[in-house]
Amino acid sequence: MAIDYDKLVNWKFDDVEQTYSSRDTILYALGVGLSMDPLDMDQLRFTYEEDLQALPTMGVVLASPGFFLKQPEYGVDWVKVLHGEQGFEIHKQFPAQSTVIGTTKITEIVDKGEGKGALLYSTREIYEKSTGDHLATLSSTTFCRGDGGFGGPKTGGAAPHVLPDRAPDSTVELPTLDQAALIYRLSGDYNPLHADPRIAKSAGFKAPILHGLCSLGVAGHAILKQACGYDPAKLKALRLRFSSPVYPGETIVTEMWHDGDVTSFRCRVKERDIVVLNNGYAKIS
């Protein structure tokens, strides 16, 4: 089996329509760890229906085409697929409840060579159905570990954001719940790797791991708190690399560098002192 480059890069995705309610918005925020302190009024604005606001990171779970690489016609060894990078740019703040349309396309596929895998770059545009407003552009890099050497382009893709060569300007520690993955999966990613201990062990993990996009949400919370004063309109863009899995119950320490309207960041797990999110970039208004 080999990647069918022409078919994959020219694939026309169906638009995805999704209606989400205030309940979904609250559930997403609880899934990424908001309101562990239920008396924190800054966080309560994302988890309580009165004057409810959506987290800026919530776009990553909206109007997704799902795990399309599992379809055999693409020629991808989907069992060896990993989420390598994720980013988003917000054009207009997400409503607390709405119906949105997602349009997905593959923009680039880079062949790293036999035994080195391939990188698949895709984008998703999200629009509000009733107004036509362009809400966000999402970018994703998928690492297809088992698919190098198919004869595709050898170079491409953006270079990772380089972190400043100095000590971090600030840090934020945020714990995750032991049941965080079980809550977060209710926002749409039902991969059993994040719920079933038997599946996790068969994949080489000691226990179910936290969704990568959940750890992104935790990092987004840290930036929202430290760099935005919990004002969701101030976070305009974010991108990062996934470097290591997180286990539910671990503490994520976000190290930040503040340079004008750019906050660079990386995240470590406190208990294991390992970097789990790297090369982070956030644009602050």
3-class SS string, 234-248: HEEEEEEEECCCCCC
Contact 59, 137 (CB under 8 A): no
pLDDT value, residue 45: 97
Whether residue 129 is found in the same domain as residue 39: yes
If asked whether residues 16 and 100 sit together in one domain, one would say yes
Strand segments (E) across the chain: 16-20, 81-90, 98-111, 118-128, 134-144, 170-175, 235-242, 251-259, 262-269, 274-284
Catalytic residues: 189, 194, 209, 212
Looking at the fold, whether 81 and 207 belong to one and the same domain comes out as: no
pLDDT of residue 79: 77
- Asked if 83 and 176 sit in the same domain, the reply is no
Domain encompassing residue 21:
5-144
CA distance 93 to 44: 18
Asked whether residue 16 falls in the same domain as residue 127, the answer is: yes
Q: How high is the pLDDT of residue 1?
A: 63
Both 209 and 110 in one domain: the answer is no
**How many domains, in total, are found in the chain?**
2
90 with 135: CB under 8 angstroms?
A: yes
Q: What is the pTM of this model?
A: 0.94
Q: For 36-73, what is each residue's pLDDT tens digit?
A: 999 999 999 999 999 999 999 999 999 999 888 888 88
Res. 217: pLDDT tops 80: yes
Task: Give a yes or no: residue 160 inside a domain.
Answer: no
